[in-house]
């Protein structure tokens, strides 16, 4: 981390591993800003689907990402003047976002936007390449994981609480496919950085996971 730059805690991991919940908890405890990179890609997906764009058309999708009129305020996401927070959770958007995130042009376009979230006093960023690509100088890199079954159960609970239909079988299949796309893509694949701390949240409460990350942050070295 460059001297004087706000510190970043990067939390990466597969879908439904608890990244968002843990990252928000850590950010709240430290008074840091929070970046949900997945929501950014999902918002691009909504804009692309509404525009009828071909999800394999890298040029068109990069333009959509470049001109995205989105705002992120706490848990609320707006696209244009519309609240799309609930729409972000739909499976159609989830699948589209995973496909779009594999396109190098889209990832490059969103890189500057993601790095702009780095503001004093600090940032907690969650995603799949926060520590490896977006913030390689993060003072702490965490890789959260959990069993496939635990992740599907969490996603099911999340959707039910939002009043959205879902089945465990479909969610298991969707997460398997997302894992494969995320780990096999040529650009910024999902992988644990060599200097990232692995935390398995399968049998860990969100509060305990947050406490572990906070303890690790307090022990992390800082730039002079």
> What are the Cα distances from residue 190, in Å, to 21, 69, 78, 164?
19, 27, 27, 28
Grade residue 220 by pLDDT with cuts at 50, 70 and 90: confident
Domain that holds residue 81: 8-219
Grade residue 215 by pLDDT with cuts at 50, 70 and 90: very high
What is the rounded average pLDDT of the residues 30-38? Answer: 94
| Model pLDDT, residue 141 | 97
Grade residue 224 by pLDDT with cuts at 50, 70 and 90: very low
Q: Is there a domain that residue 13 lies in? A: yes
Q: Is there a domain that residue 114 lies in? A: yes
Grade residue 1 by pLDDT with cuts at 50, 70 and 90: low
Q: Which tokens in the block code for residue 166? A: 């879902």
Q: Evaluate if residue 10 carries a pLDDT over 80.
A: yes
Q: Is there a domain that residue 199 lies in? A: yes
Q: Is there a domain that residue 2 lies in? A: no
Q: Is there a domain that residue 46 lies in? A: yes
pLDDT in tens, 94-152: 889 989 998 999 999 999 999 999 999 999 999 999 999 999 999 999 999 999 999 99
CATH number at residue 212: 3.40.50.300
Q: Is there a domain that residue 224 lies in? A: no
**What is the reported pTM?**
0.89
Collect all residues with Cβ–Cβ distance below 8 Å to 49 and sequence separation of at least 6: 92, 93, 96
Q: Is there a domain that residue 3 lies in? A: no
| Model pLDDT, residue 179 | 86
Q: Evaluate if residue 12 carries a pLDDT over 60.
A: yes
Which of 179, 177, 175, 187 is closest to 129 using CA atoms? 187
β-strands 140-145, 8-12: how paired?
Answer: parallel
Question: Using an 8 Å Cβ cutoff, are 186 and 104 in contact?
Answer: yes
Three-state secondary structure of the chain: CCCCCCCEEEEECCCCCCHHHHHHHHHHHHCCEEEEHHHHHHHHHHHHHHHCCCCCCHHHHHHHHHCCCEEEECCEEEECCEECCCHHHCHHHHHHHHHHCCCHHHHHHHHHHHHCCCCCCCEEEEECCHHHHHCCCCCEEEEEECCHHHHHHHHHHHHHHCCCCCCHHHHHHHHHHHHHHHHHCCCCCCCCCCCCEEEECCCCCHHHHHHHHHHHHHHCCCCC
Q: Is there a domain that residue 160 lies in? A: yes
Percent of the chain with pLDDT over 90: 69
Number of structural domains (the chain) is 1
| Model pLDDT, residue 166 | 82
Name the region of 74 (left: φ>0; alpha: ψ -120 to 50; beta: rest): left
């Amino acid at each position: 981390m460059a001297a004087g730059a706000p510190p970043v805690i990067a939390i990466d991991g597969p879908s439904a591993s608890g990244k968002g919940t843990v990252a928000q908890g850590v950010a709240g405890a430290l008074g840091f800003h929070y970046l949900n990179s997945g929501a950014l890609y999902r918002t691009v997906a909504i804009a692309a689907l509404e525009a009828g764009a071909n999800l394999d058309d890298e040029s068109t999708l990069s333009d959509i990402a470049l001109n995205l009129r989105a705002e992120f305020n706490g848990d609320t996401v707006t696209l244009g003047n519309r609240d799309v927070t609930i729409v972000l959770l739909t499976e159609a958007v989830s699948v589209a976002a995973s496909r779009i995130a594999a396109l190098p042009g889209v990832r490059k376009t969103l890189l500057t936007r993601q790095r702009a979230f780095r503001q004093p006093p600090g940032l907690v960023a969650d995603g799949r390449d926060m520590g490896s690509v977006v913030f390689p100088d993060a003072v702490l890199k965490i890789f959260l994981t959990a069993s496939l079954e635990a992740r599907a159960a969490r996603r099911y609970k999340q959707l039910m609480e939002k009043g959205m239909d879902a089945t465990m079988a479909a969610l298991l299949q969707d997460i398997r496919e997302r894992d494969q796309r995320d780990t096999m893509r040529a650009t910024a694949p999902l992988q644990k950085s060599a200097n990232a701390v692995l935390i398995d949240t399968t049998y860990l409460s969100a509060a305990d996971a947050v406490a572990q990350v906070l303890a690790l942050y307090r022990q992390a070295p800082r730039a002079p």
